[in-house]
Every structure is written in structure tokens, then in C-alpha cells.
């Protein structure tokens, strides 16, 4: 049996690096999060408040996989995880293998992974997987830009399977090396070995031509605007999920129709690290 301890509000440690999802919190804590504030100051206040409202969970269970399962159940109970398929893959890929030692892996919060980067919060991973799941069918191709810890690339690889292709690109070589080690310890290890999962050092703003076009593209860092190369590398009928903006961003869901036209919508407000140059990211690190 697992027990859950919840506490609110909690200030988060490195606010500039935190991700948040209004929808997740508004479903559970709507009185804290009005859905609409007009004006820029209010937008800033909303963002700060969201960051402060990070939900902390502590699972009193034995065994890492039990705790991972409890995290998945928690996300299901709160309506973030809606499909059995996404819940199944998040259960299979143990988050603890992707969070650096010394950090609590099962808190619903982003965690530092070094180099001014974070592994996204579980509810953001769940949300992005739910948004992309129809484009992560067995045999399909997926690109994870800003793959960081490698967690989502591993999930993508499990979903597209050995006949598909999951590519992660990350511009910090040390993070790519660490992510490969993380994947090797996970249930996705055979896919890495066989080559249907690969992780590369590259500037994500230019995508990864070698395996393009992709059915699904996820961008794990915020771009000021959608990079053209990524739009070009999206297959007709494909979907991209990308945070767009500066300090506070919109998580955009971008669909490329079969005729090549683009339709996009905003899913929710978020806060991601920027999609930028390596030197810019490593300033003050």
C-alpha cells in the first residue's frame, strides 16, 4: 500500500528553471488559479503564483518501482494521465533512473540535472505524452529536442517500439552521456542497443535531418518562435508540442495537416528553460 502526503503552498527552489501546467493545477486547485487575468502584470503574477504552488508528494512505499507506480496513480487520480497507454509507459520507465542522486525522484516537480537544465515535472511529461500519443504509434518516428535526462526519449522509444525511431537531441555533451547511461539502466535499454532509440549532441533549433520527417516532435525548452527547421521536419499529419515565448510561455500544439498547412493552439501556460545557444545556457554556471 502506498500513502500520499500533500502540502501546499510550497515555494520552488530555482524558479527560473521551473515548468508548470495551469490545467493540472486548475483542475485540483482552481481557487488558487483563476483561469484568466487580463494584462501583462497579471500574467506575471499568475506565473509567480503557479511556481509557488508546486505540489510536493512523498510516497511511503517500499521499492523504487512501487513508488514510480504510486506517482503514476497520483497523476491518473488528478486527471493528468488519461490513457492506459501513457500510464503504462510511465510505469515502465522508472523516473528514479533519470533524476540525479540526492534529489527526490517521485516529487511532482522539476529537478536539476546540472548545466542549468532540469528534468521536467512528471505532470509535464504526462501532459506531453498524452498530447502526442496518437503520433507515437508503433513504427512511427519521434524527435525529442532538448532531451536532457533522456526520460521522454525513452518513453517515446517504448511507444514507437523496435520498428519505430525515437531520436533525442541535446546540446550539452555531458547531459547526452548521462542520458545514455540513464537509458541503459532502464526498460528502454534494448531499444538503445538495437538503434531504434538514439541520443545525439546537436543544436535542437536545427532539428535532426537524418531521421526526418517525424510523426511527433517534442521540444523540451522554450523557443521565442517555432524554429522553421522543426516545422520542415514535421511529417504531414504529424504533431509538434513546443513551449513558445520568453519568460512565461504557451505550450503550443502544432498540427501539420496532410496538405502541409499548419494549425496550432495553446494548451496551457508553462515555464521552461530557453532553447538557446550552449554558451548562453552555461552563463553563470
As measured in angstroms, the least distance from the Cβ of 203 to ligand SAH is: 5
Nearest to 166 by CA among 145, 181, 187, 184: 145
Task: Read off the C-alpha cell for 224.
Answer: 521565442
As measured in angstroms, the least distance from the Cβ of 269 to ligand SAH is: 17
Active site residue 120: yes
Q: What residues from 61 to 120 belong to the interface with ligand SAH (CB under 6 A)?
A: 115, 117-120
Q: What residues from 114 to 173 belong to the interface with ligand SAH (CB under 6 A)?
A: 115, 117-120, 146-149, 151-152, 169-172
Among residues 129, 143, 221, 240, the one that binds ligand SAH under rule CB under 6 A: 221
Task: Read off the C-alpha cell for 100.
Answer: 540525479
C-alpha neighbours within 13 Å on the C-beta side of residue 6: 10
As measured in angstroms, the least distance from the Cβ of 272 to ligand SAH is: 7
3-class SS of residue 108 = coil
Cell 521551473 found at: 18
Catalytic one among 20, 120, 196, 198?
Answer: 120
Segment interacting with ligand SAH (CB under 6 A) among 8-16, 71-79, 87-95, 270-278? 270-278
CA pair distance 74, 6, nearest whole angstrom: 11
Longest C-alpha distance within the chain, in Å? 52
Nearest to 196 by CA among 242, 267, 140: 140
Rank residues 46 and 125 by Cβ distance to ligand SAH and give the closer one: 125
As measured in angstroms, the least distance from the Cβ of 259 to ligand SAH is: 30
As measured in angstroms, the least distance from the Cβ of 95 to ligand SAH is: 10
Which residues are paired to 145 by β-bridges?
169, 219
Segment interacting with ligand SAH (CB under 6 A) among 81-89, 129-137, 197-205, 230-238? 197-205
Long-range contacts of 280-285 (CB under 8 A, 24+ apart): 281/115, 281/116, 281/117, 281/171, 281/172, 282/115, 282/116, 282/172, 284/116, 285/115, 285/116
Total binding residues toward ligand SAH, as defined by CB under 6 A:
25
Which residues are paired to 216 by β-bridges?
142, 239
Among residues 134, 203, 250, 255, the one that binds ligand SAH under rule CB under 6 A: 203
CA pair distance 186, 105, nearest whole angstrom: 14
As measured in angstroms, the least distance from the Cβ of 22 to ligand SAH is: 19
Among residues 131, 140, 175, 192, the one that binds ligand SAH under rule CB under 6 A: 175
Rank residues 220 and 269 by Cβ distance to ligand SAH and give the closer one: 220
If one asks whether residue 273 binds ligand SAH (CB under 6 A), the answer comes out as yes
CA pair distance 38, 156, nearest whole angstrom: 37
Q: Which residues are catalytic?
A: 120
Binding region for ligand SAH (CB under 6 A): 115, 117-120, 146-149, 151-152, 169-172, 175, 203-205, 220-221, 273, 275-276, 281
Amino acid at each position: 500500500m502506498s500513502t500520499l502526503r500533500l502540502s501546499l503552498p510550497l515555494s520552488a527552489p530555482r524558479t527560473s528553471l521551473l515548468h508548470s501546467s495551469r490545467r493540472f493545477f486548475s483542475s485540483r486547485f482552481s481557487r488558487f488559479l483563476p483561469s484568466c487575468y487580463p494584462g501583462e502584470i497579471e500574467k506575471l503574477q499568475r506565473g509567480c503564483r503557479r511556481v509557488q504552488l508546486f505540489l510536493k508528494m512523498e510516497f511511503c512505499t517500499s521499492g523504487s518501482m512501487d513508488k514510480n507506480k504510486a506517482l503514476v496513480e497520483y497523476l491518473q487520480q488528478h486527471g493528468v494521465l488519461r490513457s492506459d497507454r501513457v500510464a503504462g509507459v510511465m510505469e515502465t520507465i522508472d523516473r528514479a533512473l533519470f533524476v540525479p542522486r540526492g534529489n527526490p525522484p517521485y516529487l511532482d516537480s522539476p529537478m536539476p540535472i546540472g548545466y542549468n537544465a532540469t528534468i521536467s515535472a512528471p505532470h509535464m511529461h504526462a501532459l506531453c505524452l498524452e498530447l502526442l500519443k496518437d503520433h507515437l504509434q508503433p513504427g512511427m518516428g519521434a524527435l525529442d529536442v532538448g532531451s536532457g535526462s533522456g526520460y521522454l526519449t525513452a518513453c517515446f522509444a517504448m511507444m514507437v517500439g523496435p520498428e519505430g525511431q525515437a531520436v533525442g537531441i541535446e546540446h550539452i555533451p555531458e547531459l547526452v552521456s548521462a542520458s545514455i547511461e540513464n537509458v541503459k539502466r532502464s526498460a528502454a535499454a534494448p531499444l538503445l542497443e538495437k538503434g531504434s532509440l538514439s541520443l545525439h549532441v546537436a543544436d535542437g533549433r536545427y532539428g535532426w535531418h537524418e531521421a526526418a520527417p517525424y510523426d511527433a516532435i517534442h521540444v523540451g525548452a522554450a523557443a521565442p518562435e517555432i524554429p522553421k527547421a522543426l516545422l520542415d521536419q514535421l511529417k504531414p499529419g504529424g504533431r509538434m508540442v513546443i513551449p513558445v515565448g520568453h519568460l512565461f510561455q504557451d505550450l503550443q500544439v502544432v498540427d501539420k495537416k496532410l496538405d502541409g498547412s499548419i494549425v496550432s493552439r495553446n494548451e496551457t501556460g508553462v515555464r521552461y528553460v530557453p532553447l538557446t545557444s550552449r554558451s548562453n545556457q552555461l552563463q553563470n554556471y
